[in-house]
Amino acid sequence: MSRWQPNARGRLEQAALELYAERGFDQTTVAEIAERAGLTERTFFRHFADKREVLFWGQDALIELVTTCIADAPRSASPIDAVGDALRAFGTMFQGRREHARRRQAVIAANPGLQERELIKLASLAAAMAEELGRRGGPEPATKLTAETAVAVFKVAFERWLSATRDTELAHVIGDSLDELKALTAGT
């Protein structure tokens, strides 16, 4: 077992997704993931707290990216434009990773506990966006509404991107979904 090959985290993530798809999340052990990746369980736990975190490990980086983008948005930007730009920036992180995202989402969809964890992740993202919008000076009800709306736009765009038959970028699909929302609300 060679422990010195590069990209241990990526290898563990790949092995976990393969095993989750083959056997199911609950039936896969950390030992099996480590073995498939050619690593030890100890190495697994250096990278992930548990086998769920293989699917959710980037949450802190996502929140940091989105809140930084909101904070850096021009003062003239509306709250929805600030969060839209932040979501598009997040979407660029998925370039070339659609098949990986599809496999990850299939594992989550097959497991109620993972679905719950995904909802918690999205709720944390909405709370962080609302807090950052509040720092920009927005009133609380409007900041929460904008953040929750942004998460809804992201969820719809993400599902569209995963099911698209042609190659497209998530950032573009997010932008299109946000434009559709703006068109809907402009007509009211």
CATH of the domain at 31: 1.10.10.60
Instruction: Give the range of the structural domain holding residue 176, as residue numbers without chain letter.
Output: 58-186
Q: Which pLDDT does position 133 carry in this prediction?
A: 96
pTM: 0.87
Q: Which pLDDT does position 4 carry in this prediction?
A: 55
Whether 174 contacts 153, CB under 8 Å: yes
18 & 106 share domain: no
Q: Which residue has the tokens 């506990």?
A: 113
- How many domains would you assign to the chain? 2
Q: Which pLDDT does position 2 carry in this prediction?
A: 47
160 & 129 share domain: yes
Q: Which residues of the chain have pLDDT under 70?
A: 1-5, 187-188
Whether 168 contacts 91, CB under 8 Å: no
Q: Where are the alpha helices (DSSP H) in the chain?
A: 8-23, 30-37, 41-47, 53-56, 59-72, 79-92, 98-109, 112-135, 140-163, 170-186
